[in-house]
Structure 1
């Protein structure tokens, strides 16, 4: 018996990285899973794959509706989809700020808003938002991205307060720097990819990048009916980066 037997889940950005790992783990735990993404190639092994643009409310409403219809309802929503951004406070034009906030924050709002009627009909409704270590620690050259993920973390708590009376739990996971396609692309563009990889790994106290499977495990824990008394919280999967201050050996 899986922890999610009989439950239905929707994972945004589920075609790769953390989203794909989460969709696979939910499936392994017994859930019927629909993936929503913009990727042309549909990942295999799921109940449904829906293409939708989080920047377009009409596309989101249609995509979520299609996913809910294919699943026959909805119990779990994982808001994972998002885009990255680099640079300090001076380095991105207004247009880029609007683009990133529109996907990372308003995209989450659009999906959740469209999914709420189905979640309200569930007896095990749970929403898990993917925030970031960037929401809780000051990272260099991540001003825009940090602002967007800080908004996700604050929004998670507000959503939890609003939706708890309706039986819908809302939590967040804050990954550290993870071994995802986006990070791989950043490394590929670096002058010295090996040195950049080593630097990213070293800033996390456990000395390596976080794996997508580790983040997925945290998401699935928070979404599980076994976590029925957990809401309005965030779970860091960052190798201790946010909370630990290790003594350096001389």
Structure 2
């Protein structure tokens, strides 16, 4: 019997958007622990980005970029490859969220969320795939989506719609790229303890101890943490998932569609 493939990123060059904090940072650190030879991360906080890149323990590059800027986003893959060589693996972990119902969501908010949550992954995927196809190399992409892509709460209209678009993009590109051995999978993430969530809770007027209050009410006693999902992302990038593409994995302690 053949041995099971290892969950390893040995020799891979990995690009993680939103890698300066939260889920993206957790995935970047897990990729380094799994043997990635070089890692590029993106983000808007230059000081934080450089600090994280310097702490990964492997050759790393921080690429400052605002994913709401299409031109800046279009340069990221070239910048990563100029610093580290051809990118084998892409994680679209950066995301933007904001409140708004179908009644009060502005066109500006809708456009801003779609720019970061759907357009940026499209631009990055396109750039990486063009390079891989030219080099005739395989590759893997993981899109960090959300459970809200199933429909979402009424107060997250634009966010849920933008992540729903990313879920469809995941399946569409997975199907299109099979013959090129480029795999695309997505993770529908549940409620997570991240710096971004803390900022939202503070902005919405919740007390500083909101996490301590929310955690006991969760089925497993706490919110999802970056380390929880990082291992799944690394698995999906690795050869252990070599036969898996087009999957949208619900990563949550609540079961979609179950009631009572």
Q: Secondary structure at the match of 2:16?
A: strand
Query: Does the CA contact (< 8 Å) of 1:137 and 1:242 recur in 2?
Result: no
Structure 2 partner of 1:212: 226
> Is the aligned partner of 1:15 residue 2:20?
yes
Query: Where in structure 1 are there 5+ consecutive unaligned residues?
Result: none
> Is the aligned partner of 1:94 residue 2:107?
yes
Encode CA deviations 1:11-65: one digit per residue, 9 max, x unaligned. 0110000000000000111102111222221222251111122233321232220
> Is the aligned partner of 1:82 residue 2:95?
yes
Q: Secondary structure at the match of 1:64?
A: helix
Q: Secondary structure at the match of 2:250?
A: strand
Structure 2 partner of 1:113: 126
**1:202 shift after superposition:** 6.3
Say if 1:2 and 1:217 are closer, same or farther in 2 by CA, change over 3 A.
closer
Q: For 1:143-162, what aligned pairs fall within 5 Å after superposition?
A: 143-162=157-176
CA distance in 1, matches of 2:213, 2:175: 38
CA distance in 2, matches of 1:239, 1:203: 12
Say if 1:140 and 1:230 are closer, same or farther in 2 by CA, change over 3 A.
same
CA distance in 1, matches of 2:216, 2:169: 30
CA distance in 2, matches of 1:229, 1:30: 21
Query: Does the CA contact (< 8 Å) of 1:75 and 1:122 recur in 2?
Result: no
CA distance in 2, matches of 1:225, 1:124: 11
RMSD of aligned residue pairs (Cα, Å): 2.2
Query: Does the CA contact (< 8 Å) of 1:203 and 1:241 recur in 2?
Result: no
CA distance in 1, matches of 2:108, 2:138: 39
Say if 1:126 and 1:196 are closer, same or farther in 2 by CA, change over 3 A.
same
CA distance in 2, matches of 1:95, 1:2: 42
RCO higher in structure (CA 8 A, sep ≥6): 2
Encode CA deviations 1:158-200: one digit per residue, 9 max, x unaligned. 0101111111000001110100111101222344436854675
Query: Where in structure 2 are there 5+ consecutive unaligned residues?
Result: 1-5
CA distance in 2, matches of 1:209, 1:72: 37
Give the TM-score taking structure 2 as reference length: 0.86
CA distance in 2, matches of 1:111, 1:128: 12
Structure 2 partner of 1:38: 44
Structure 2 partner of 1:47: 60
Query: Does the CA contact (< 8 Å) of 1:187 and 1:197 recur in 2?
Result: no
> Is the aligned partner of 1:178 residue 2:183?
no
Query: Does the CA contact (< 8 Å) of 2:105 and 2:157 recur in 1?
Result: no
**1:114 shift after superposition:** 1.7
- Among 101, 104, 125, the residue aligned to 2:139: 125
Structure 1 partner of 2:242: 228
Query: Does the CA contact (< 8 Å) of 1:153 and 1:172 recur in 2?
Result: yes
> Is the aligned partner of 1:6 residue 2:19?
no
Say if 1:149 and 1:92 are closer, same or farther in 2 by CA, change over 3 A.
same
